[in-house]
Structure 1
Amino acid sequence: MTSPTRPAYIIMPEELHTELKSWCASHGVTMTAYVVDAVERSLRWDRNLEASTRTK
């Protein structure tokens, strides 16, 4: 995981925040690590999708 270079804010419903916080705690993962990983995976997926549509 890379370190963030500046703060980011994720806006989500309180219920989702509570569920995510509980999931992270039960799996020994910080919420920051979970969100950063999810964003990085999403960006990689987007880049791969973009690259695959360019080659068609």
Structure 2
Amino acid sequence: MGLGAFLRFTEKKFLDRFVIKYQNHIPQLLNLFKGEVGILELGFASEEICGVKQL
């Protein structure tokens, strides 16, 4: 198996395990993975992403 084929296989496994699996909960997840939308555009504040709240 060549490196290109290996990387495509790995990307497909990642998509299946972490993107497609949770797409019902977060419909924009595939767009986020593709870089078509940023995480801040999903409506999450940076504090929520980092798990830190400002005092």
TM-score by length of 2: 0.36
TM-score (structure 1 length as normaliser): 0.36
Give the number of the structure with larger relative contact order, counting CA–CA contacts within 8 Å between residues 6 or more apart. Answer: 1
User: Which structure shows the higher helix fraction?
Assistant: 1
